[in-house]
């Protein structure tokens, strides 16, 4: 075991995202010490791919048979659970329509070669569900680079919905262009299959907005010029780190399962706080416009709980971060991560 103070921190050279030739860094799990990952990717808010993070996960070994989704396993173990499903071909207000399905029903759908529709099981809180059912839920382990996670700790401590999901989609299913909840970081690991990610550095998405300020549901490079973005192929066993405020869209190139978390820690807390405040004032402006319309009641019913939740999360998180976020960086990480950081080194 190495003392933290004695570690030498070596910086890797990073691509400069203000130049057009952006490229994504690809590293092997364990190849970089935590501090370097922390500084080069989390503090720097740069994306990266980490190879081979999940070889020993139960999910990696039991959910996959002959390099394909082991539908039988899901039917036998989780068949009666309900999961949220998006219909990638039914779009309403610039979002995919969502409903719930029993997992066994979804697996039967997945087995069909000629599918009539394109369904994507996503945002499934499987880990929380198994915990609630008192069933073993150790089907994966958070990669150590992503272990500092105030958002899910907050959710757990307060008995709220967590931000830990399973995604299962057939070839060609997709996720629209978006930035993550509260502009948090996300990580995502491919248990089986392959995804194509398109990632935009913060602010670049503004070039995609229409005259009303709306973003397209999907970015099509044919329709734009001079947009800086990264295209990344994520293979089986790879993790991708999506930094704060980077818009992204995702396409499943094969039948794919992934596990992902949203997370916030000392590196992005300030950005998240600023984004939440901006979000809040945008929503206030929108409400102002609707104030006298007949839709106002419906609108406020939907929007107000959302604002309240944002405010609550923001204030709890900022309390934890104190006035000077930067002074906490790294010291906070070391204290906060406690036993975890010791495992890393």
Ligand X SMILES: O=C(O)CCC(=O)C(=O)O
**Which chain residues interact with ligand X by CB under 6 A?**
167, 175, 180, 186, 188, 195, 242, 248, 250, 258, 260
Q: Which does 40 bind (CB under 5 to 8 A by kind): Fe ion, ligand X, none?
A: none
Whose Cβ is closer to Fe ion: residue 127's or residue 261's? 261
180 binds Fe ion (CB under 5 A): yes
Whose Cβ is closer to ligand X: residue 146's or residue 325's? 146
Whose Cβ is closer to ligand X: residue 250's or residue 264's? 250
The widest CA-to-CA distance across the chain, in whole angstroms, is 65
Q: Any residues with CB less than 8 A from the CB of 39 and at least 6 apart, and which? A: 9, 11
Contacts of the segment 334-342: beta carbons below 8 A, 24+ positions apart: 334/4, 336/148, 336/150, 336/265, 336/266, 337/147, 337/148, 340/144, 340/147, 340/148, 341/4, 341/34, 341/147, 342/1
* Contact string (CB under 5 A) for Fe ion, positions 302-341, x = contact: ----------------------------------------
DSSP designation for 265: -
Element (H, E) at 302: helix 296-321
Measured from the CB of residue 326, what is the shortest distance to ligand X in angstroms?
26
Measured from the CB of residue 4, what is the shortest distance to ligand X in angstroms?
30
Whose Cβ is closer to ligand X: residue 248's or residue 271's? 248
Measured from the CB of residue 130, what is the shortest distance to ligand X in angstroms?
20
Measured from the CB of residue 2, what is the shortest distance to ligand X in angstroms?
32
Q: Which does 250 bind (CB under 5 to 8 A by kind): ligand X, Fe ion, none?
A: ligand X
Whose Cβ is closer to ligand X: residue 147's or residue 166's? 166
Distances from the Cα of 280 to the Cα of 182, 205, 307, 308, angstroms: 11, 19, 7, 10
Measured from the CB of residue 33, what is the shortest distance to ligand X in angstroms?
25
DSSP designation for 42: I
Contact 218, 176 (CB under 8 A): yes
Terminal-to-terminal C-alpha distance of the chain: 6
Contact 186, 42 (CB under 8 A): no
Q: Which does 71 bind (CB under 5 to 8 A by kind): Fe ion, ligand X, none?
A: none
Measured from the CB of residue 298, what is the shortest distance to ligand X in angstroms?
28
Closest CA to 77 of 132, 22, 137: 137
Measured from the CB of residue 186, what is the shortest distance to Fe ion in angstroms?
5
Closest CA to 142 of 167, 120, 170, 163: 163
Q: Number of residues in contact with Fe ion, rule: CB under 5 A?
A: 1
CA 66, CA 165: separation in Å to the nearest integer?
24
Q: Which does 125 bind (CB under 5 to 8 A by kind): Fe ion, ligand X, none?
A: none
CA 325, CA 45: separation in Å to the nearest integer?
16
Whose Cβ is closer to Fe ion: residue 187's or residue 273's? 187
Whose Cβ is closer to Fe ion: residue 151's or residue 341's? 151
Q: Which does 188 bind (CB under 5 to 8 A by kind): Fe ion, ligand X, none?
A: ligand X
Measured from the CB of residue 233, what is the shortest distance to ligand X in angstroms?
13
**Which residues are at the interface with Fe ion (CB under 5 A)?**
180
């Amino acid at each position: 075991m190495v003392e933290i103070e004695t570690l030498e921190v070596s910086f890797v050279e990073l691509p400069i995202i203000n130049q057009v030739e952006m490229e994504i860094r690809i590293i092997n799990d364990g190849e970089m010490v935590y501090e370097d990952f922390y500084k080069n990717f989390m503090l720097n808010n740069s994306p990266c791919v980490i190879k081979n993070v999940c070889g020993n996960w139960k999910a990696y070994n039991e959910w996959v048979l002959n390099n394909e989704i082991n539908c039988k396993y899901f039917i036998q173990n989780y068949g009666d659970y309900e999961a949220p499903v998006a219909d990638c071909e039914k779009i309403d207000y610039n979002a995919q329509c969502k409903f719930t399905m029993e997992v066994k029903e979804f697996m039967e759908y997945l087995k069909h070669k000629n599918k009539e529709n394109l369904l994507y099981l996503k945002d499934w809180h499987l880990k929380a569900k198994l915990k609630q059912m008192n069933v073993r839920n150790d089907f994966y382990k958070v990669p150590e680079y992503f272990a500092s996670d105030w958002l899910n700790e907050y959710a757990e401590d307060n008995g709220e919905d967590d931000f830990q999901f399973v995604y299962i989609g057939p070839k060609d299913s997709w996720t629209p262009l978006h930035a993550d909840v509260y502009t948090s970081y996300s990580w995502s690991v491919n248990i089986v299959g392959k995804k194509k990610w398109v990632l935009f550095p913060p602010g670049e998405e503004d070039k995609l907005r229409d005259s009303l300020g709306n973003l397209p549901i999907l970015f099509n490079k044919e329709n734009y010029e001079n947009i800086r973005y990264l295209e990344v192929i994520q293979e089986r066993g790879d993790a991708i780190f999506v930094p704060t405020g980077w818009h992204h869209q995702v396409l499943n190139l094969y039948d794919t399962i992934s596990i992902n978390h949203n997370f916030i820690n000392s590196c992005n807390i300030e950005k998240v706080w600023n984004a939440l405040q901006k979000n809040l004032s945008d929503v206030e402006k929108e409400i102002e416009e609707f104030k006298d319309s007949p839709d106002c009641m419906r609108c406020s019913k939907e929007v107000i709980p959302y604002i309240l939740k944002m405010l609550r999360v923001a204030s709890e998180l900022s309390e934890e971060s104190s006035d000077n976020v930067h002074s906490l960086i790294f010291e906070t990480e070391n204290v906060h991560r406690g036993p975890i950081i010791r495992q890393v080194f």
